[in-house]
A and B are shown apart, each in its own frame.
Chain A
Amino acid sequence: MEQTFSEVISSIPWGIVAPLLVIQSILLIVALVDWFRIESTNGPKWVWLIIILFFNIPGPILYFLIGRRNDG
């Protein structure tokens, strides 16, 4: 039952998981870059940083959908 950390890491099928991780990271980075450059968001800006960072996939998507001001 007990597995070492390296055993767990090597048991993950990276060929399958890696592309999804890469895509997800791109999404996260783009959202962060945009968050830094944008002047103001819908609602407090720092809240959106927390949402982007801590809600893995839906966070950045929600930021782009709702957080960015559509009229600015």
Chain B
Amino acid sequence: MQWMTLFQKETLENWRNFKWLWVPITFILVAALDPVTTHYLPVILEKSGELPEGAILDLPTPTPPEAFLLSFGQLNLLGVAVVLLMTMGIIAAERKSGVTELILVKPVSYTAYITAKWASTLVLIFFSLFLGLLTSWYYVNILYGDLAFSIMIGSFFLYSVWITFVLTISIFMNVFFKTPGLVGFLSVALIILINSLNGLVSRFIDGYPPQINAYIREYVINGSTSGDLWLTLIITLLLIGVLLISSVLIFRKKELAA
């Protein structure tokens, strides 16, 4: 009951500050631009007139799966950046301005406060991600050739686990610091660190969260995955749970102390 009220309040707020408009549009543009521009790259280069007379351009045409994967490359860069920048003040700014205190003087549970924010942002991001991948899939089908719809759906589910992990890290950072800029910077740094350790860690253990991206690649190209996809998914989901629970616990401790 109380949780639904908070959830609705967050969703309403996301309507009022236009997040339900600009986040989906951003994801659509981020996901669709690369497949489209790559297809027209020879034309763009030719029209820009920078090439010397008689230059021969022999760019390999990507296969449909390769073209679709271009979207994930952009999402990993710009999509993740948008998620982190969008959520860097989600709790930190409210704590700084005192809104948190206004809410928490009422009998509102700390768990509901944090998880309602987490869930409402998650719904928004899933919606945006789905629209983005759908647009990319549409363009890949028109410009490059057939790509099964089930591949789009499957990769959407895999990627949504990864993006949930990214969001939860941002929520976790929000609980620690009151300055949105610092929260954003630290979450970006942490995600970069986690990603850059991928090569090293993957050599020794299976189930490291960023490996999801490698599985998506395999899934889109082959239609199936080898190795421990499920282990990676379960470990990532467990980490999300742990991060979320510790966020609530730390938040409660900090707010009671304040």
Residues of A within 8 A of B (CB): 16, 19-20, 23-24, 26-27, 30-31, 34, 57, 60-61, 64-66, 68, 70-71
- State the CA gap A26–B21 with chains docked (Å): 9
> B29 interface residue, CB < 8 Å from A?
yes
Cβ–Cβ contact A70 & B89, under 8 A: yes
Cβ–Cβ contact A61 & B82, under 8 A: yes
Q: A27-B22, A30-B21, A30-B22 are in contact. Are A20 and B29 (CB under 8 A)?
A: yes
Residues of B within 8 A of A (CB): 17-19, 21-22, 25-26, 28-29, 32-33, 36, 82, 85-86, 89, 93-94, 96-97, 99, 135, 139, 142-143, 180
Cβ–Cβ contact A70 & B180, under 8 A: yes
Which listed residue (B36, B85, B89) contacts A71, Cβ 8 A?
Answer: B89
Q: Which residues of chain A are within 8 angstroms of B180 by Cβ–Cβ distance?
A: 70
Cβ–Cβ contact B29 & A66, under 8 A: no
Cβ–Cβ contact B26 & A61, under 8 A: yes
Which listed residue (B22, B97, B99) contacts A31, Cβ 8 A?
Answer: B22
- A interface, by DSSP: helix, strand, loop or mixed? helix
- State the CA gap A68–B86 with chains docked (Å): 11
Q: A23-B25, A71-B89 are in contact. Are A34 and B143 (CB under 8 A)?
A: no
Cβ–Cβ contact A71 & B96, under 8 A: yes
Q: A20-B36, A60-B22 are in contact. Are A65 and B28 (CB under 8 A)?
A: no
